[in-house]
Amino acid sequence: MKIEIFTKSDKETKKLGKVLAREILKTKSKKRAVVISLGGELGSGKTTFTQGFAKGLGVRETPRSPTFVIMQIYRFRTRNLVHVDAYRLNSRDFRMLNWDDFIKNPQNIILVEWGNKIKNILPKNSVRIIFKHIGRPRERLIKIFI
Ligand SMILES: Nc1ncnc2c1ncn2[C@@H]1O[C@H](COP(=O)(O)OP(=O)(O)OP(=O)(O)O)[C@@H](O)[C@H]1O
Ligand SMILES: [Mg+2]
């Protein structure tokens, strides 16, 4: 299923992240991690979305771009938000990070910026979200594939 949403500011994109996070928390617990792949060009809103998403989960810190640290883990309740940036990496790099253990852990909700770069190591049922610049500078088209 594909859902298309237009946002007109970073605030609206954060709100979308927050709403989606709340919906995910409501769903029955899974046997494995929930994985969300975030795609779209530079500056399209992936990190901005993640900030709203983290807030929706109840994370206290504000996630920043993880580009230089590869992976940042935030605790909320008894679970983890794992924020990953695959921009400079490939699937082999992730396998070395014990990636399979992250995917197996049902306590993890994993958001992967540039997830398209490591598609082959993401679960088939991952949610895919694509961000696009359109029209005016602050407008974005956000497509969610569930
Ligand atoms: N509608 C909008 N949604 C999201 N961000 C917006 C919007 N309008 C303007 N912006 C601005 O665009 C920028 C988006 O940057 P952000 O770091 O979220 O992008 P990114 O996709 O994570 O980039 P990168 O590929 O470098 O990681 C921010 O400065 C944000 O304030
Ligand atoms: Mg980013």
Show me where the domains of the chain are located: 19-145
Tell me, in angstroms, the distance from the centre of ligand 1 to residue 46's CA: 6
Tokens linked to 63: 């996630």
* Euclidean distance between CA atoms 108 and 135, whole angstroms: 36
Which CATH class for the 19-145 domain? alpha beta
So what's the pLDDT on residue 70? 85
* Percentage of the chain exceeding pLDDT 70: 99
So what's the pLDDT on residue 67? 63
pTM score above 0.95: yes
Judge whether residue 25 has pLDDT over 90: yes
- CB neighbours (10 Å) of residue 72? 17
Residue nearest atom 31 of ligand 1, based on CA coordinates: 10
To the nearest whole number, what is the mean pLDDT of the chain?
Answer: 94
CB within 6 Å of ligand 1 — which residues?
Answer: 7, 9-10, 12-13, 40, 42-48, 65, 113, 131, 138, 140
Q: Which ligand is nearest to the CA of 17?
A: 1
